[in-house]
Structure 1
Amino acid sequence: MYFTFLVPPKVEAHKPENDQSCIVGQDTHISWKFSGIEKPQVTWFLNDQPIPTNDRIQVTETDDGTSELSIHQAELADQGIYTAMATNSVGKAEAKTTLFIIIKPMITVNLDGSLQATKDETMTLKIVASGTPKPDIVWMKESNEIKPNDRVHETTENHDDDDYIYTLVISHVEPQDQGEYSAKISNIGESLVSNKCKVTVSSTSS
């Protein structure tokens, strides 16, 4: 007489949760390995909803118990929590991956090539950029990072769902504020450098 000892599914990983990121338009893969006797069946969910496979989203299984979800040309709608649920007749186990979809920064309104500022008045530089997650900005004068102080202020405003307005305001302009200004816009997807704006300071307004 032979006995078959059944073993419930188990996630073959140190932790059954992780994070991944993917740039929009690129391909990405999420995989989890499960053990168990009898071999578990794996079902995939996105935000607790079953994932239908199609030409863009495919699931493949390997003999070692790995289930891989492949996403072709990732879209913003693909962002969310993916759950791989493994089941057999004696139990179940699940593993989760949080997928973040990244949109590289893009500058939609750049700096002008030049700006005439007037001593003791206020000058403003403005850049509009988009990206997901929200891009960070570093303002530069020549090759030096600009640090906010009593005269120098930086603001960021959400223009709409996609664009952010980044503003550098320098009050009580002084002759030493003259020079070449630029900005570095970056998120996890990419870094961009803006146009350079040559600022000249005059003693009177023209």
Structure 2
Amino acid sequence: MFILSLCFNFKQHHSEHARLQVPTSQVRSRSSSRGDVNDQDAIQEKFYPPRFIQVPENMSIEEGRFCRMDFKVSGLPAPDVSWYLNGRPVQSDDFHKMIVSEKGFHSLIFEVVRTSDAGAYACVAKNRAGEATFTVQLDVLAKEHRRAPMFIYKPQSKKVFEGDSVKLECQISAIPPPKLFWKRNNEMVHFNTDRISLYHDNSGRVTLLIKDVNKKDAGWYTVSAVNEAGVTTCNTRLDVTARPNQTLPAPKQLRVRPTFSKYLALNGRGLNVKQAFNPEGEFQRLAAQSGLYESEEL
């Protein structure tokens, strides 16, 4: 009995020891496989595709100006950036610069914008994990010819009555349209008031309107037109006089020049003028007054 129990205990102990002892090769293989998985996960976590964080908006730039397109892109590893204009690659040259700064900031710089630079720009960022793209439109405005202001016609001097309205008008040609300044006796004229207004249109016509004119409005007026190409100035005079009275003058009396006629002479003697046309009556009356009678001998 003792021998049987001893053999049983030995077999049980040997089996437990066998279970506890695992080959080192199996342990190493398991640990190495887990390590490989972790290393692969770590490698995959270190790479991620490009992503644009900041992009420029569409632009309109005048020809000959400086232009700059700024953007920011992220990605690991740092992505390579390429530009395309209407599908054609954009190369760095004397007029175009591609600048890369820290923390993913990039810039496409136009030293002098030309009309050939207009179009749709595509920016492509690539790394081993992927790529990203954005587009921006650049419109180039043709450079406008500049011309200093000049008067097509100048304001004319005027004389008005108190209480009237007056317009000081001129026409000015300039590119670009000029800024206008009006002075009265070297003091700035204030517009957009109840009495004084300034009007102008696209053809260059300028009107200074003054309502209810008073004597304080009289004086020398100076209009100046200024733009980037030059300046021009003109002077004009406004005189204001008191309004005359509205009463009508008294009519002039007509003077009659005295004349002499036989009718007046007869009237002066008390004779009827009508009787002057009757020779017989006139003779008989005059004869009676003078005492003359007709002789029968004649």
TM-score band (shorter)?
0.5 to 0.7
Q: What is the aligned residue count?
A: 182
| Residues 122 and 171, structure 1, Cα contact 8 Å, conserved in 2 | yes
Corresponding residue for 1:58? 97
| Residues 122 and 133, structure 2, Cα contact 8 Å, conserved in 1 | no
1:68 to 107, 113, 123: 107
Aligned CA distance change for structure 1 residues 141 and 170 (closer, same or farther; 3 Å): closer
Corresponding residue for 2:156? 116
Q: TM-score, normalised by structure 2?
A: 0.45
Corresponding residue for 2:234? 197
Specify the SS of the correspondent of 1:39: coil
Structure exhibiting the larger radius of gyration computed from Cα positions: 2
Residue 168 of structure 1 pairs with residue 209 of structure 2: no
Corresponding residue for 1:179? 221
| Structure 1: 5+ residue stretches without partners | 157-164, 186-190
Structure with greater strand percent: 1
Corresponding residue for 1:44? 83
Shift of 1:30: 2.4
Q: TM-score, normalised by structure 1?
A: 0.60
Shift of 1:63: 5.9
Structural mapping, 1:12-161, within 5 Å: 12-13=53-54, 16-18=55-57, 24-46=63-85, 48-53=86-91, 54-62=93-101, 64-78=103-117, 82-88=121-127, 89-94=129-134, 96=136, 106-111=146-151, 115-119=155-159, 123-130=169-176, 137-142=178-183, 143-144=188-189, 146-147=191-192, 152-156=198-202
Aligned CA distance change for structure 1 residues 182 and 176 (closer, same or farther; 3 Å): same
Shift of 1:36: 0.7
Over the aligned positions, Cα root-mean-square deviation in angstroms equals 4.3
- CA distance in 1 between counterparts of 2:78 and 2:167 reads 75
Shift of 1:74: 2.4
- CA distance in 2 between counterparts of 1:71 and 1:17 reads 14
| Residues 182 and 193, structure 1, Cα contact 8 Å, conserved in 2 | no
| Structure 2: 5+ residue stretches without partners | 1-35, 160-165, 241-298
Aligned CA distance change for structure 1 residues 83 and 169 (closer, same or farther; 3 Å): farther
- CA distance in 2 between counterparts of 1:67 and 1:52 reads 15
Corresponding residue for 1:8? 49
Aligned CA distance change for structure 1 residues 201 and 78 (closer, same or farther; 3 Å): farther
Aligned CA distance change for structure 1 residues 7 and 97 (closer, same or farther; 3 Å): farther
| Residues 57 and 72, structure 1, Cα contact 8 Å, conserved in 2 | yes
| Residues 8 and 37, structure 1, Cα contact 8 Å, conserved in 2 | yes
